[in-house]
Amino acid sequence: MAKSTLSFVCQNCGAAYNRWQGKCESCGEWNTLAEEDTSGSVPVSIRSKRKGRTFALESLSGKSPDAPRLSSGMTELDRVTGGGFVRGSVLLVGGDPGIGKSTLLTQATSLLARAGHRVVYISGEEAVAQVRLRAERLGLSDAPVQLAAETSVEDIVSTLSEGAVPRLIVIDSIQTMWTDTVESAPGTVTQVRASAQALIRFAKKTGAAIILVGHVTKDGQIAGPRVVEHMVDAVMSFEGEGSQQFRILRAVKNRFGPTDEIGVFEMTGLGLREVTNPSELFLSERDLGTPGTAVFAGIEGTRPVLVELQALVAPTSLGTPRRAVVGWDPSRLSMVLAVLEAHCGVKLSGHDVYLNVAGGLRIHEPAADLAVAAALVSSLVNAQLPTDGVYFGEISLSGVVRPVAQTPARLKEAAKLGFQRAVLPESARGEPGGDAGLSLNAVNSLTTLVAEIAARGSRRGESSPPAEKNATPARFRRGEG
């Protein structure tokens, strides 16, 4: 038998060390090293002793049949997966505790089971009675889903190998699984990696689609070794704020579909409800005519989404002003604030800045720069932005408003929801696809937009600031609010 080799493995990133140390040099986390046996994932007694076989090599040219997909019955889930679950694929779903991962998968498995497919739900965290209680609350207790509460990978694979091959298998969660081929506690890096490898091998061999549920760290990353994310075919993140009823399913990696699509759900008393028109839902309770609010016309995958951005600029009594952001990149906000101060004369060094994306959506594209700048200046000068206008455009470090992609789709969505005007980059005015009937206000530099918003401001009673590029309102140059 192989000699046992002990090493210290980081439970956050999977890096191995010969001796214990307080800080992991790979990921920078403290107190994450745990002692594990890394002599090998498979003991010598059960290793295969056969010789390697030869296999045929093929060329790049030639036709391959499309991978058959299994529709889940949920339009939003199929949108993120690329049209359904591919036979033999393995998906990793992560999200904060209590966000609704188990609810989403319970609904998906129930729809597939009612359609006549064999679906198995393996829970390593809850008993069968607890899963039944959730299904009863969701009104899905009559669905013929096969349940089990088990954590041994060998027992799971042996049980699933009997009878017809399941079309979909849910493992909730991968951190609770363990295999006797390694001598480590469940949840450690070695156990998670070995358990995931055994389940992936079973999926590729039998053609069953497997969904692995993964825990997340305090930073929102899926816990465990990052190698698991490379091993699976798709990685999806279930996002949302605990105080909001909206949930976003986002694809981080997908070998069989796009990675920029999102699925929007609403958490209700009867489970997750699909949202076919996210823009209308995100704007249903927006504050009309309130300074500091702007509507951003964004793109999530192939779908245009309109969302409200809320900004609050208030004088501070602290030596270092506070910058609080929810739903957007804090570094991107710092860049926009620097451009406003350097090129537009807007002095915000003595003000606290708060920015929020309404509805719990998280925006990643830089096209939101123009809407954020408009909301910040509107809050600073107490000016109401037009309630029937949308904003989109990327701001460069020189203060120039740069064009963004899919302008016609953004304008068409805004027109469908009743908006009458749009503020967009100058170079995007003549793009093919028309203006969708909106009144377009094309701006070339951020200074122009700041001057237009400041002209509506009620603070200090100034009537009309100069409109030249370098002529900013006097209160901005003085650093007054």
Residue closest to 292 by CA, chosen among 373, 362, 352, 360: 373
Average pLDDT over residues 346-362: 89
Paired tokens of 104? 């989403």
Average pLDDT over residues 314-334: 91
Residue closest to 410 by CA, chosen among 359, 367, 356: 367
**pLDDT given at position 19:** 87
Q: Work out the pLDDT band at 458, boundaries 50, 70, 90.
A: low
Alpha carbon distance 127, 365 (integer Å): 42
Q: Given a cut of 80, is residue 378 above it in pLDDT?
A: yes
The order of strands in the sheet holding 16-17 is 16-17, 6-10, 33-37
Domain boundary assignment for the chain: 6-40, 71-276, 281-477
CA dihedral in degrees (181, 185, 190, 196; nearest 10)? 70
Q: Work out the pLDDT band at 77, boundaries 50, 70, 90.
A: very high
**pLDDT given at position 391:** 95
Q: Work out the pLDDT band at 367, boundaries 50, 70, 90.
A: very high
Contact 268, 246 (CB under 8 A): no
Residue with tokens 């295999």: 179
Average pLDDT over residues 344-357: 92
Q: Given a cut of 70, is residue 40 above it in pLDDT?
A: no
Q: Which residues contact 282 (CB under 8 A, 6 or more apart)?
A: 246, 305, 306, 307, 308, 358, 359, 361
**pLDDT tens, position by position, 243-277:** 678 888 999 899 988 888 889 998 888 899 998 88
Stated as kind and residue range, the H or E segment containing 311 is: strand 303-315
Average pLDDT over residues 42-55: 58
Average pLDDT over residues 187-205: 91
Q: Given a cut of 90, is residue 430 above it in pLDDT?
A: no
- Which residues share a beta bridge with 106? none
Instruction: Give CA separation, 460 vs 9, 316, 380, 457, 465, in Å.
Output: 62, 19, 12, 8, 12
Q: Given a cut of 50, is residue 58 above it in pLDDT?
A: yes
Q: Given a cut of 60, is residue 298 above it in pLDDT?
A: yes
Least confident of 3-12, 24-33, 366-375, 381-390: 3-12
Contact 98, 84 (CB under 8 A): no
Least confident of 21-25, 98-102, 191-195, 433-437: 433-437
Average pLDDT over residues 322-342: 94
Q: Given a cut of 60, is residue 43 above it in pLDDT?
A: no
* Helix (H), strand (E) counts: the chain: 12, 23
Q: Given a cut of 50, is residue 464 above it in pLDDT?
A: no
Q: Work out the pLDDT band at 342, boundaries 50, 70, 90.
A: very high
Which ranges constitute the DSSP H helices of 179-304?
A: 189-206, 227-231, 278-282
Alpha carbon distance 202, 120 (integer Å): 14
Contact 410, 478 (CB under 8 A): no
Q: Work out the pLDDT band at 280, boundaries 50, 70, 90.
A: confident
Superfamily of chain region 71-276: P-loop containing nucleotide triphosphate hydrolases (3.40.50.300)
**pLDDT given at position 459:** 46
Check whether the bond before 173 is cis (ω within 30° of 0).
yes
In CATH terms, the fold of domain 281-477 is: Ribosomal Protein S5; domain 2 (3.30.230)
Q: Work out the pLDDT band at 433, boundaries 50, 70, 90.
A: low
Instruction: Kindly write down the DSSP assignment for every residue of 20-48, as one continuous string.
Output: --SB-TTT--BS-EEEEE-S-SS-GGGS-
Q: Work out the pLDDT band at 220, boundaries 50, 70, 90.
A: low
Average pLDDT taken over every residue of the chain = 85
Instruction: Give CA separation, 149 vs 102, 132, 194, in Å.
Output: 14, 12, 20
> Helices 101-114 and 128-137, interaxial angle, to 10°?
80
**pLDDT given at position 456:** 80
**pLDDT given at position 50:** 56
**pLDDT given at position 312:** 95
Least confident of 31-40, 296-305, 316-325, 350-359: 31-40
Nearest 5 degrees, angle CA 364-CA 365-CA 371?
A: 105
Paired tokens of 182? 């390694």
